[in-house]
Amino acid sequence: MRPPRAPAEGAARLGRLAGSLATWGAFALAVYTFSELWGALRGAWAGRPTVPPGPFLLLVALFLASLGYLAVALYAAEARAGRVRRRIGLVDRLLAWLGAATEVPGR
């Protein structure tokens, strides 16, 4: 029988799960919005726009935001693992402001 988990260990697992779900959600959002944007652009090129300008700009904003989130999440994971050769100051400041750890423990 396994010993009971400490509350901090359960919270850490829940945090990792939430981060993983957020990353997969951002990826799904990026794929969906890219698909919608591509369809809208094809319709505009054919001379029959299918998406009005307002929703089109919202799709562009959602696409860029989800790609930005994915880029920062990937950078943070690589920095935590110690595989970043050249640091990006703007992203490091953003992660520090958010309170995310990017340093490798024990180094």
pLDDT value at 107 more than 50: no
Alpha carbons within 13 angstroms on the beta-carbon side of residue 27 total 8
The CA-based angle 74-75-77, given to 5 degrees, is: 65
pLDDT, tens digit, 9 for 90 and up, residues 12-61: 677 778 888 999 999 999 999 999 999 999 999 999 989 999 999 999 99
pLDDT tier for residue 6 given thresholds of 50, 70 and 90: low
Residue 72: predicted pLDDT: 93
| Alpha-carbon dihedral angle through residues 76, 30, 25, 58, given to the nearest 10 degrees | 110
Q: What is the structure's pLDDT at 106?
A: 46
> Which burial class, exposed, middle or buried, applies to 100 when counting CB atoms under 10 A from its CB (0-12, 13-18, 19+)?
middle
In one letter, which amino acid is 58? Answer: L
Q: How much is the average pLDDT of 77-97?
A: 91
Q: Where are the domains of the chain?
A: 7-98
